[in-house]
Amino acid sequence: MPNHTITSLKALKHQRPITMITAYDALFARLFASHIDVILVGDSLNMSFLGAKDTLSATLEQMIYHTQAVCNGAPEAFVVCDMPFGSYNTPDEALRNAMKVYQTTPAAAVKIEGGATKAATVRHLVDNGIAVVGHVGLMPQMVRADGGYSVKGKDEASMQTILEDARAIEAAGAFMLVIEGVKTHVATAVAKALSIPVIGIGAGVDVDGQVLVWSDMLGLFEAFTPKFVKTYMEGATQVRQAVKRYADEVQARTFPTPKESY
């Protein structure tokens, strides 16, 4: 992949779909980087990597730690760091914490969840030199307040709210928007209405790119699989089979052989 900039990513909107994937460590970031436009250090790591039931307990320190690892593994990649729940409640708090991300990692941008109510925060970040990716529609950091995860944009009023949220985040200066868990026609309308790239997850095909959580698409996260996930590898099964073979060979004394011995 070319070394992207905000300008080159924005230019892709009318050329081809943008590819985004999450990564949480150097090992996988290195594997992903050659095929992927943007690596997102998502706070989904709190669930798939750290085993929590939702993303809300992720901390800024954890996000920075994982972002450093991802940037170490993929130094040329365009890396976006998710701002965790509670780290951007006010514009000043957001700026203080986003500055920490910029000062302690080479991340190119931060992502924050929220629509019109977060526009002032996005504006404050952008005015102070932080590049921002927005996130509207289903916002996982709202899971407790919403009482669960549910598809958004099911009626006209909800569609209009999502459109207004997306427009507000673009007007505030975000250079890219993630839209999650919405009816397909809603995401299509948002992608058409905005001039910045709109990246979908559970948002249908007519957007400007797609993002998936890496451990979902490699079939490693088994706790639950949302409808929008496609698994490109039976990761969990393959890992279990490999580890069983290793354990069997150790017990049978068929590993190591002379080939693996000094």
Quote the least distance from Cβ 255 to ligand KIV, whole Å.
Answer: 37
User: Which is the catalytic residue, given 113, 156, 180, 234?
Assistant: 180
Least distance from ligand KIV to the Cβ atom of residue 46, Å: 8
Structure tokens at 22: 């999450």
Instruction: Indicate whether 211 belongs to the interface with ligand KIV (CB under 6 A).
Output: yes
Q: If we measure between CA atoms, which residue out of 44, 105, 39 comes closest to residue 78?
A: 39
Pick the stretch among 1-9, 39-47, 182-190, 247-255 that binds ligand KIV (CB under 6 A).
Answer: 39-47
What sign does the dihedral 168-171-173-179 (CA atoms) show? positive
Contact 42, 82 (CB under 8 A): yes
C-beta of 195: minimal distance to ligand KIV in Å? 21
DSSP H helical ranges for the chain:
6-11, 26-33, 45-48, 60-73, 91-104, 119-127, 143-146, 156-171, 184-193, 214-217, 235-251
Contact call for residue 84 and ligand KIV (CB under 6 A): no
Distance from C-alpha of 172 to C-alpha of 192, rounded to nearest angstrom: 18
Does the active-site annotation cover 180? yes
The stretch among 41-49, 123-131, 225-233, 250-258 that binds ligand KIV (CB under 6 A) is: 41-49
CB of residue 245 to ligand KIV, shortest distance in Å = 32
Spatial separation of the C-alpha atoms in residues 6 and 176, rounded to whole Å: 9
**42 binds ligand KIV, rule: CB under 6 A:** yes
Q: Assess 200 for contact with ligand KIV (CB under 6 A).
A: no
Q: Is 95 in the site for ligand KIV (CB under 6 A)?
A: no
